[in-house]
Amino acid sequence: VGSAVENVQLYEQGQRAAVMEERSRLARDLHDAVTQTLFSASLIAEAVPASWELDQQEGRQLLRELQQLTRGALAEMRTLLLELRPAALTETGLGDLLLQLGEAAAGRAGVPVSVAVSGDCILPPDVHVVLYRISQEALNNVVKHARASQVELSLRCAPSPDGVWRHVELQIRDDGRGFEPDGIAPDHLGLGIMRERAEAIGAHLQVETEIGSGTLVSLSWGEDEDSAGAAGR
């Protein structure tokens, strides 16, 4: 009995530690992403009146930047609220989640992020979450390292002609500085984590890049109706 009680206590301590660690991570994300974005927006807002008086064209450009920053901050907040309630990730449409990630990345990086979703992307919960997480990691890498001027995220979900299986293609492409794949440690840029997530659902992940030529992260996943039901369960 004493051993069982001790095990329960250790389990509860581990659960509390995990909760505290997750809260700390969310607090860091809130500070790093939303706070910095809102700070930049406040600086631009202060500069708009004077700039408008001197040059209306420049004033309009500042207003466009302000709009992008505030939309990005709003998307960041929505994403963080979803993170606080993990079940919400599977309750929210994947297309909506990717749009939020795109707007948040655009606000932080100050570059346009286009998001295109086609097809009926109602997927098993584990596949749904993995596609979201890999997109999130890839866009975070773009913001932190790529120095890109354009980012494209696309998700295509298509059934076979006879409707027996589904196929999903996810791509995140940027025109940034790229990197040398052989010179990157497996645990750097989250590449190892992305590959592990892809393998967990039986998907194929590929990263194509070279110095000065941008980066393409692509994932393909497919299943038949029987395995879809098993994955959903």
What is the chain's mean pLDDT, rounded? 81
User: Model's pTM, two decimal places?
Assistant: 0.72
Q: Which residues of the chain have pLDDT under 50?
A: 225-233
Residue type, position 118, single letter: S
Q: What's the pLDDT at 199?
A: 94
pLDDT number for residue 89: 84
Give the pLDDT of residue 193.
Answer: 87
pLDDT at 109: 83
pLDDT at 225: 44
pLDDT of residue 230: 42
